Amino acid sequence: MPLDRVLHNTTTNRARVSTAVNCFTLAISTLAANVINDSFDCLFQDLQGEIDTERENFLSLTASGKKLLSSLEVGGGGGAVAAAAAANASGDDAVALKNKLEEMNERWNYLKAKSVAIR
């Protein structure tokens, strides 16, 4: 086979291999991007579900805690349960409850910020 023919075949084969490698690289990159996107979507959905559940718990606990705290500070007046709680609780209990509510609020704000950062 003449040298020019060998060079032509080599150049053609090299171009075909280069094209095949580029297509393969593009396919792998696309596949990796899709896997990463699917993983983030799944993670985001899990986190969103967790946030929704915790939000409901947070709102319920906050409302209950505020009612209890106000009944302790006022001295009852909210029925038998509030009167019993006020009679049995000291000022330290009210402070501890307030601190717990503030801690819960800080945790909730952290979780919301984490969710926003992921988005």
Q: Residue 18: what are its φ and ψ, rounded to 5°?
A: -60, -40
Q: How many CB atoms lie within 10 A of CB 112?
A: 13
Mean pLDDT of 45-57: 82
Q: Three-class SS of residue 51?
A: helix
pLDDT digits (tens, 9 = 90+) for 60-85: 888 887 887 777 666 544 455 555 55
Q: What is the pTM of this model?
A: 0.35
CA distances to 39, 93, 94, 103 from 100, rounded to whole Å, are: 35, 10, 10, 5
